[in-house]
Amino acid sequence: MDQPKNTDNSLWMFIFGAWLIATLSTLGSLFFSEVMELVPCVLCWYQRIFIFPLSIILLAGLFPLDKNVVRYALPLALIGLLFTLYHILLFYGLIPEGLQPCTQGISCADDSMVLFGVLPIPLLSLAAFSSIIFLLLKARASS
Partner 1 sequence: MKKNVIILATSLLMVVLFMVATYLYNNQKAETKTQLAAQNNSALIAEYSPRKGSPAAKVTIVEFLDPACETCKIFHPFIKDLLKKYPNKINVVIRYSPFHHGSDQMVAILEASRKQGQFWNVLDLMFETQSSWAINHQARPDIFWRHLTKVPNLDLKRLQQDMNDPAIANVIQQDLVDGKRLGANKTPTFFVNGKPLPSFGYEQLMNLVNSELAAHY
Is 62 a residue that touches partner 1 (CB under 8 A)? yes
Q: Is 119 in the site for partner 1 (CB under 8 A)?
A: no
DSSP 119: E
Strand ranges, E, within 5-130: 114-115, 119-120
Half-sphere exposure of 104 (CA within 13 A, CB side): 0
Spatial neighbors of 89 by CB under 8 A, at least 6 apart, are 95
Task: Check residue 60 for interaction with partner 1 (CB under 8 A).
Answer: no
Task: Specify whether the CB–CB gap between 112 and 38 falls below 8 A.
Answer: yes
Distance of closest approach, residue 127 Cβ to partner 1, in angstroms: 17
Choosing from 20, 38, 106, 123, the residue that interacts with partner 1 (CB under 8 A) is: 20
Question: What is the rounded distance in angstroms from the CA atom of residue 122 to the CA atom of residue 107?
Answer: 13
Q: How far is the CB of 74 from partner 1 (least distance, A)?
A: 21
Q: How many residues does the chain have?
A: 143
Judged by CB under 8 A, does residue 27 bind partner 1? yes
Stretch that binds partner 1, among 18-26, 72-80, 88-96, 119-127 (CB under 8 A): 18-26
Closer CB to partner 1, residue 16 or residue 134? 16
Residues of this chain that bind partner 1 (CB under 8 A): 12, 16, 19-20, 23-24, 27, 30-31, 35-36, 59, 62-63, 65
